[in-house]
Structure 1
Amino acid sequence: MLAYNVQPLAHENLTGIGYYAANTLGRLLKEDKECELHVFDFMGRNDAGSKVAKNLGEAFDPSALHIVKNMPLGAYIRAGNAGKMYSYEALTHSKADMTVFFNYLVPAGLKGKSVITIYDMVSMRYPETMDDRNRRLLQRHLKPSAEKAAAVVTISEFSKKEIKELLNVPEERIFVAPCGTDTTFYCPFPDEQAELAARQEIKKQFDIDRYILYVGTLEPRKNIKTLVAAFEETAKEDEDIKLVLAGGVGWHSEETLAAIEGSPVRDRIVRTGYVSNEMKRDLYRCAKVFVFPSMYEGFGMPVTEAMACGTPCIISDTSSLPEVAGGIADIVGVYDIHALSEAMLGAIGREITDEFRKSAVANAARYTWEEAARAYRQAFSFVTNADMI
């Protein structure tokens, strides 16, 4: 029997890993009717079962859910080998012989086979950009988890190479399940009336007309300081353009926020905070250009979301981003302020052609959640067949 640990789905608002897990698992559960779902909810404080049900929607089967209330999952993982005193199967009352984990780590106390998901190797490449607690957890437990797992799933060919190099996982044990893009939701405006309504709402909420857009958390790895510095150059050449930063504040954000607040063009930088998916889509659609200057990504979902909306993109020349962009985006050096400014000026000065929109949408459409689910099934088959040899 197969089990899925659905801990990333035990949150009210899903971002990142939770969003990936919900979409991938939703497709997997269409075929995996006989399976278990595991979630840890210490003393029932998080109402985890209701949140998992909400986030899985129609795919959720309440009879499959096993809730662990006597300890947090993080504490069980941090226990390391001491966790073997009380097995994962005993804690979850599981009969599964293979368990899937969507958040990097597998508890040492798991007796059966495991498939884990490793999205990137930030904890080894850029540890200083991480939240201290998560960094310590990954630095201590990621390598043992990779060694214990029967198969590893990741989200890009770039990350596959990183995992192979840094964790010494054999290539045949690593499967690539890229992040999907819902092109029925993220898509260009259906008509002029919808576009006009969206632009009016954006103007009402944020007082912006012409703007450059960034979507994501405000944290060091996203390289917002370089973006702000480049925008300061751009703003000298274009008196009306604004920079919109859509997303919440992340960890170690002090220098990023200081760069924003201390900018000589602070009055032309708009921080929206967290926005709904609907507003995010309309911000993509109405932007002159989307800019994603990140230092390091495992995939880069905002890039494919923006492309699906037909919006031009500028990305840094690092990690998975050129792979994901498929030759459609402008690429600049990750810390090259002048090159980024020049690219932004070029983008905001060009008309977006129908030919470009078609190419951008077609690139985004390469990535589907069905393909992600198919890669997980390949990993399951690999583990099952390996047991038979």
Structure 2
Amino acid sequence: MKNVLIDLTQLPLERTGVGVYAVNYVRSLRRLAGLQRLHFLVLDDDPELLRDVRAIPGANAIVLKAALFRRFALRVLLEQCIIPFLAFTRGFDAVHSLHYSFPLCSFGRFKRIVTVCDMSFFLFPGLHVPVKRLFFRFFIRRLPKVEGLLFISASTMQDFMRDFPQCRAARRVMPLGADLARLAQAPDAALVQALRARFGIDRYILYVGTVEPRKNILGLVQAFERCAAAHPGVKLVIAGKLGWDYENLLQYLKSSAARERIVLAGYVNEAEKHALLKSALLFAYVSFYEGFGLPVLEGMAAGVATITSNISSMPEVAGDGALQVDPNDTAQIAAAMHGLLADPAARTALAARGLAQSRAFTWENTTAVSLDFYQEVLERNGMAASLQRQNE
């Protein structure tokens, strides 16, 4: 049985994007047996993740001190020195890195598998903090040299191959999923009431995601301003932690004619997000670019009429289950909002299509594809090494 190490030390405690993917991947592993023995690197300040890892039959948790390895320099040391050392001394056959960066040197002793979440660092470099842009572009340029690449959408794989056509790594599209059973459940009534009172909301359009330029929140706000007068009882709720370069947005909101009807909710946990989704009139996510668009899937799976962008991976996820608009056209976004707010039957029909579309994306499928890909990479490279030895 092959041994695979999965590096979970890259994950922030506040779950967004890759954090949501990683947690649900780990939880699905409890129910799916693979052909490999799994080992996990986990930081000790994440007891929920550690508990989920220890619930996986036969899994081995390697717990490291967060006080050390949440520091950037030591995080790099962990990835480039300690992980290869562990792989050599403990006989790991593969290391799976979930978020771009990975051990640069394996000396042929273990296979490197990396999940590629998007190509925004190349397609939209100006939408990232300079330090992150330099760091992740450095690693992405070296991805063609690893043994296996998992892409969270066909769109992301196409974007990568356009920039790196020479890549010879094994490749697989691994769509993300949603917790369909949980999102189908009715929200906690007390929590719904508490959130309504806390934010002063009743009827609202919801956005959930990090507040940063790539998410096109300014365009969403401007579209809401266009249709707000026609729907006086409706508010726009922006739920998500402040990322970076959000000062212009905050300044704009101060002078917006609709400022009293725009709510900055800040970061919300999973229970709060679920309650907000289930009570929303519309879910609007009109990002300029997404590697997958997990919030779009969650909006559809929650049974709320969803508006999203018609570019990058979002059509791949949305299908006919969401209303697709040009994110650069605020008039088109506003028209989509107005049309659905004014027509409850259209909202209901769109929500039903979205719910049906969401059923094609499950975390169990994500996990099954990953485990199968581990085996493909291990067998493919093992066969290549065997042939090379025979020819020597």
**CA contact 1:199–1:209 (8 Å) conserved in 2:** no
For 1:75-114, list aligned pairs within 5 A.
Answer: 75=73, 88-90=83-85, 93-111=89-107, 112-114=110-112
Q: Could you say which residue in structure 1 is the equivalent of 2:282? A: 289
> Does residue 375 of structure 1 match 2:373?
no
CA distance in 2, matches of 1:198, 1:354: 24
CA distance in 2, matches of 1:77, 1:140: 16
Partner SS, residue 251 of structure 2:
helix
Deviation at 1:355, TM superposition (A): 5.0
Letter aligned with residue 316 of structure 2: E
Change beyond 3 A, Cα 1:96–1:287: same
CA distance in 2, matches of 1:3, 1:123: 26
Identical aligned residues as a percent: 29
Match of 1:234 among 222, 227, 237: 227
Deviation readout 1:116-171 (Å, 9 max, x if unpaired): 00100010011111122211101222111x12211100111111111111233658
Q: Could you say which residue in structure 2 is the equivalent of 1:44? A: none
Q: Could you say which residue in structure 2 is the equivalent of 1:35? A: 38
For 1:344-355, list aligned pairs within 5 A.
Answer: 344-352=337-345
Number of aligned residue pairs: give it: 374
What TM-score do you get using the length of structure 2 for normalisation? 0.86
For 1:1-389, list aligned pairs within 5 A.
Answer: 1-9=3-11, 11-28=12-29, 30-32=32-34, 34-39=37-42, 47-48=44-45, 50=47, 52-54=49-51, 56=53, 58-59=55-56, 63-65=60-62, 67=64, 74-75=72-73, 88-90=83-85, 93-111=89-107, 112-144=110-142, 146-168=143-165, 170=167, 173-187=170-184, 189=186, 200-352=193-345, 356-386=350-380, 387-389=382-384
Partner SS, residue 297 of structure 1:
coil
Deviation readout 1:332-386 (Å, 9 max, x if unpaired): 1111111111110011112147654432212111111111112212321221222
Moved over 3 A (4+): 47-52, 54-57, 60-64, 66-81, 91-94, 169-172, 194-202, 352-358
Deviation at 1:269, TM superposition (A): 0.3
Deviation at 1:72, TM superposition (A): 6.8
Change beyond 3 A, Cα 1:52–1:201: closer
Letter aligned with residue 37 of structure 2: E
Change beyond 3 A, Cα 1:350–1:340: same
CA distance in 1, matches of 2:264, 2:46: 34
**CA contact 2:38–2:58 (8 Å) conserved in 1:** no
CA distance in 1, matches of 2:163, 2:289: 15
Deviation at 1:318, TM superposition (A): 1.4
Letter aligned with residue 248 of structure 1: K
Deviates more, 1:320-329 or 1:161-170: 161-170
Letter aligned with residue 328 of structure 2: Y
Deviation at 1:77, TM superposition (A): 7.8
Q: Which runs of 5+ in 1 are unaligned?
A: 42-46
Deviation at 1:319, TM superposition (A): 0.7
